[in-house]
Amino acid sequence: MRLIGLDPGLGATGWGVIEAGDGRLGYVADGTVVTNRALSLAERLVQLADGLTAVIGKYRPDEAAVEETFVNRNAVSTLRLGQARGVVLLVPARAGLRVAEYLPNLVKKTVVGSGHAAKVQVQMMVRALLPGAVVSTADAADALAVAICHAHHRETALRIARTTS
């Protein structure tokens, strides 16, 4: 199964695509959709939507996973991040993908073993779990971590469903 992980941001949204199946993970691709800060908010959201649509069209994932965001001290930044996150949820859903959401602490705990792991630790574990991963940016590493988290939690849910039916 091909999974795409997404790390939302208005300025840069990381994405990472992996293959998951039979208890194995494989790296496919990663990158970042970057928006032009000189444009209006609406134009930047269009850039984000177009970029994600192109990535989904190219790699054709079966499911998507998005990192949930936290509220920060700056209300304007939080609002803009929420708007970008809306686009990040909408694009894969509009493409017909099931979209799961994971809290940042769960992603870190799944990938590193600690819910308060540093970004460097997450990047190191992503590279260890996905040999050959390019990991072009920190945002892309976070997105790959979200995809890995989804692969692990998705499998567990499927196993539980099989044993209870």
The residues carrying an active-site annotation are 7, 67, 139
User: Closest Cα to residue 2, out of 13, 15, 14?
Assistant: 15
DSSP codes, 27-89: EEEEEEEE--TTS-HHHHHHHHHHHHHHHHHHH--SEEEEE-----S-HHHHHHHHHHHHHHH
CA distance 128 to 110: 14
Quick one: how far is CA 84 from the chain centroid? 13
CA distance 89 to 80: 14
Element counts in the chain: helices (H) and strands (E):
5, 5
**Segment holding 20, helix H or strand E:** strand 12-21
